Structure formats: C-alpha cells, structure tokens
Amino acid sequence: MKIQVVGAGCPKCQMVEANVKKACEELKLGAEVSHVYDVREFPKLGVRITPAVLVDGKIVVAGKVPTVEELKKLLGG
C-alpha cells in the first residue's frame, strides 16, 4: 500500500502526515508513506484542495485533517 500526503508543508499538512503514520503503526500496516510538497505536482495527482491523502493513487481525504480513528477506518482497520 502506498500512501501519499499532499500539502505544501503547513501545520495542517504536517498533522495529517503524523496521523497517517500513527494510523499505519496502530494497524500494523507496512505502508509506504510519503509527502508531496511540490505544488506543481498537486494537479497531476488530481488534488485541488489540501491537505489531501491518497491511497494507491486514489484521493480518500481532501481539505481536512482526518483523525487517527478516521484514517484507520479508511485504511481498513
């Protein structure tokens, strides 16, 4: 599973990344988590509003900071 956090690095984006990592840790997922900071890449990924979370290329969250519990449900926990 490949998870991408998309955002320019603002505090909300950093919080999303931390929550994604915590959710993966709690679910014991061996996911590859990365953060896309380059705003030129956002449209290529289909992202119009940040922060966003993509799972295997599909946008699952956009424009909000999901909680760890919300992320766990999205990631299959």
Instruction: Using DSSP, state whether 24 is helix, strand or coil.
Output: helix
- Annotated catalytic residue, options 2, 9, 10, 25: 10
**10 catalytic, yes or no?**
yes
**24 catalytic, yes or no?**
no
- Annotated catalytic residue, options 3, 5, 6, 13: 13
Cα separations in angstroms, 64 against 11, 36, 50: 12, 16, 7
Question: Which residues on adjacent β-strands are paired with residue 53?
Answer: 5, 61
Residues marked as catalytic:
10, 13
